[in-house]
Amino acid sequence: MIVGILKEIKSEENRVAMTPSGVEVMTANGHTLLVEQNAGVGSGFSDAMYVEAGAEIVATPAEVFDRSDMVMHVKEPQPSEYAMVKKDQIVFTYMHFAADEELTRDFLKTDSVAIAYETIEDTSGGLPLLTPMSEVAGRMSVQEAAKYLERVHGGRGILLGGVTGVPPATVVVIGGGIVGTNAAQMACGLGAKVYLLDMNLDRLRHLGEVMPKNCFPMMSSPATVRELIREADVVVGAVLIPGAKAPKLITREMLGTMKPGAVIVDVAIDQGGCFETSKPTTHGDPIYEVDGIIHYCVANMPGAVPITSTIALTNATLPYAVEIANKGWKQACRDNDGIKLGLNMANGKITYKGVSDAFGLAYTPADDLLK
């Protein structure tokens, strides 16, 4: 198979879909790798490194799309790329269709095969291609919150961990999954008082056993959220419904009960956000204020640390890319239920129910296209 690695064009996105070591593995499996010129520069990988690993450097994205059987991105294709996507071409990337109706409807028209990183599952029901970026985003959420708590940025003007004789900040993390756990670990490590909310008692028991003593796992409920945000200096939204829109857990009205200058970080923004007042921002213009509350809603947080993120992403995606390239998408889906769950669109049909439900569009079970 001819596999194309595209340069990211989303604002301030410096990751790349595959490292040179990943290219070496793909070529060893008999595949031809086309890498767009300078695709890896933001992550510290030169064109020469890709050539040494066995790739061919291609000058334009149009040529990558035109020559490839499968193309790989990090973020969802941008509008300027839609016309380049070929019928039956495999597009393997983070898609987040359920958060973007325009992208969903436009991509259906390409008649391509969209396999989304974020809905592939492993045998335990985990999300192996979302996990590494969730780890990065969770850790970054607290790093960024600590910065924007500073008065110079409009924050409350407090240090997350406090100092001798001065109490630490209170951090509320909503969601005890990968993002939330990593956020809580970082906040605890900096000395904050941390409340970690989840709705699964078994998960809460586990978190109670493994988290530091300044982390307090609690059962999440609307009443608990309303109560805790009153004392919060930082709120991290880390709620995920795989492949579907995130629920809105904090309303605009609730912002009025929070401390002026508090910071909320919406890590779920690429799935629509879990705060009513959230809207996507960029690394160049990451924050805005609503009713005295600082909002940080960057949709591609891991793009700010591309060396860490690209290596972590390739570690996770490479085995799936190899399997899809070795077998073709249909056989890979037949053999691997996890990849089948990653199939969001094919032949102009939506094959992931969370996406069809988000916009009231027709749903076609993936099995119907694999016969």
Out of 69, 100, 233, 270, the active site residue is 270
Torsion, Cα of 125, 126, 130, 133 (10° steps): 170
Active site residue 96: yes
Cα angle 9, 12, 13 (rounded to 5 degrees) comes to 60
267 is an annotated ligand-binding site residue: yes
Find out whether 198 is annotated in a ligand binding site: yes
Q: Is 109 annotated as a binding residue?
A: no
Q: Which two tokens stand for residue 100?
A: 């973007």
Find out whether 315 is annotated in a ligand binding site: no
Q: Is 134 annotated as a binding residue?
A: yes
Question: Is 203 assigned to a binding site?
Answer: yes
Confirm or deny that 268 is annotated as ligand binding.
yes
Q: Is 70 annotated as a binding residue?
A: no
- Yes or no: say if 113 and 350 are a contact pair by the CB < 8 Å rule: no
Residue 240, annotated ligand binder?
yes
Backbone angles phi, psi at 106, to 5 degrees: -70, -40
Q: CB within 8 A of 301, min separation 6: which ones?
A: 136, 137, 140, 141, 144, 267
Q: Using alpha carbons, list the distances in angstroms from residue 108 to 112, 113, 348, 355, 359.
A: 8, 9, 5, 12, 13
φ, ψ at 13 (rounded to 5°): -100, 115
Active-site residue, from 31, 73, 96, 295: 96
Would the annotation count 220 as a binding residue?
Answer: yes
User: Is residue 321 within 8 Å of residue 92, measured between CB atoms?
Assistant: yes
Which residues does the annotation place in the binding site for substrate?
Answer: 15, 75
Which residues does the annotation place in the binding site?
Answer: 15, 75, 134, 198, 203, 220, 239-240, 267-270, 298-301, 323
Which residues does the annotation place in the binding site for Mg(2+)?
Answer: 323
Residues annotated catalytic, as ranges: 96, 270
